[in-house]
Copies of this chain bind each other. A is one copy, B any other.
């Protein structure tokens, strides 16, 4: 280590770490002579408190959990980066759990966390919904603060950090139409959830505003399985009456759309215009460069963690109805 740790001080003094910690904190439990010994050695070795020191002393309550569907997705990776930037600076430890869109796994993690491992929870729910009773139950059992982000259930009493999905989906769809798409498809998840419903609502309202009649088959439902998605999309785009536009509401759907168009020799944007909801760093480097609707992923993670820690430390649920809405960013490139 750079400098000496409290454990090393304790070793050299023949004292417990807890005694050293209390002595350094000038606790009344420690005798003046012991305090003197500890402080002298600390000074000799230029002891500097670890930024986590307060955590060491009151370890309980400094752990939070993050439950997300997927980490191999730039949105969630950036969101975790944002969460960690806050938990690190506030000296919290962060557990991570991946549900892989598996509802049973999400439930098992929640039930596991009822055991008291954590003092708060940040979650982006998986698809495959059958209601949100398990969150309600987790909360009723534990009374722990929960912040939802991005994929949020429509439960009023929990704080949420979301993007302006309705407005930005409306805008993205309108841009596809203005670029010439007469039949833009929305690629979305298999199961309804609040976030995807908002995106769908924005998409459908944009169609209506531009006089395009919506039919059910314009919604393409994809899954967590990229191979399955490939065959779903390949089949649809092999049809004669295929969509001439794509609004891919999840990053991996945009990537698979490109793969399918490439393999079917459909030209983007001539045959199919594409806008993808993604934080891909390589969007501008794709062939052709991908028009993106990108979410403020890092900031969403940061806001969610900030809100959660405020709730934990104030032991208050004043924030319980907070909804923080951050703007998505539409960047038009060569794919439309």
On A, residues with C-beta under 8 Å from B are 1-2, 5, 7-8, 50-52, 55-56, 59, 63, 71-74, 77-78, 80-81, 84, 88, 93-98, 104-105, 107-112, 114-115, 117, 133-134, 137, 141, 252, 255, 258-259, 262, 280-282, 284-289
Contact = CB atoms under 8 A, between A and B. Distances in A.
B93 A94 contact: no
A19 B25 CA distance: 39
A50 B285 contact: no
Given A71-B77, A96-B96, A107 B1 contact: yes
A1, A134, A280 interface centre (most CB from chain B within 10 Å): A1
B134 A1 contact: yes
A51 B95 CA distance: 18
Given A7-B114, A71-B71, A95 B94 contact: yes
Given A56-B112, A96-B80, A262 B285 contact: yes
A119 B255 CA distance: 39
Contacts of A258: 282, 285
Contacts of A288: 287
Nearest to A261: B285
B117 A59 contact: yes
Given A71-B71, A84-B97, A258-B285, A56 B115 contact: yes
Nearest to A17: B115
A208 to B, nearest CB: 33
22 contacts: A2-B104, A2-B134, A5-B111, A5-B141, A50-B108, A51-B112, A52-B108, A52-B109, A56-B112, A59-B115, A71-B77, A71-B84, A72-B77, A72-B281, A73-B77, A84-B96, A84-B97, A88-B105, A94-B97, A258-B282, A262-B285, A286-B287
